[in-house]
Structure 1
């Protein structure tokens, strides 16, 4: 697992919150402050310091850009959800060694009809 990989469900939840806040921004500002992320995760009953620790960890992994805004920071995802998913999939495939083909066959064999249609469309667009 590379240092950029997500290590837990909490990191994933914080990134999901950032992507959601970023997509819903009406003021043109990208990303969100630690307080905004914490507020968006209020149903998880997390301490503010826990959210800040996770944001700092994600920034150190280079998954977020930290931009100074007054006395605080805004956190902006470096990649979209789709881009990060693709990177994690490539990392997983790279870890299969000689079994890469078998891993792909297993993945496709368990894919839903919707996923297979999306994969066929993506492959057609590359041709």
Structure 2
């Protein structure tokens, strides 16, 4: 999975934070509170995100309403998986990654591993 570009990430951030469907107009209006951006630019990038399957869309009258296709955490997990695949030795890359986790993150990892083991057994 390719990392999102700057504007792609800015748009996706709104969908992830809002956790609801939104129109291009809503995205443009929110971005324009901080900086100027053209409606057509956001339309183009939102359409690209749809075609890349980051967004889903449905018609409401004459307007497309978009929604994030997955969570921010799903996106981060896919990036981590790609990062592990970038090395020649995936287990070694995983060990190096785990070696950089803080105690809170290690506890979360242990909990996730226990849950995964329970699912695999059940």
Per the TM superposition, whether the score is higher than 0.5 is yes
Distance 1:6 1:56 in 2: 17
Deviation (angstroms), 1:59: 0.7
- Out of 40, 45, 51, the position equivalent to 1:60 is 51
1:16 matched to 2:13: yes
SS in 1 for 2:29: helix
Q: What per-residue deviation string (whole Å, max 9, x for no partner) do you get for residues 65-94 of structure 1?
A: 121111110111111112222222222222
Q: Write out the 4+ residue segments of structure 1 that deviate beyond 4 Å after TM superposition.
A: none
Q: Which protein is bigger by CA-based radius of gyration?
A: 2
Q: Is the contact made by 1:17 and 1:41 (CA closer than 8 Å) also made in structure 2?
A: no
Instruction: Give the SS at the match of 2:67.
Output: strand
Q: Match of 1:27?
A: none
1:36 maps to which residue?
26
Runs (5+) with no aligned partner, structure 1: 23-29
CA RMSD of aligned residues (A): 1.7
TM-score w.r.t. length of structure 1: 0.79
Which runs of no fewer than 5 residues in structure 2 stay unpaired? Answer: 118-122
- State the distance in 1 between where 2:101 and 2:43 align: 36
Whole-Å separation in 2 of the counterparts to 1:67 and 1:14: 17
Matched length? 116
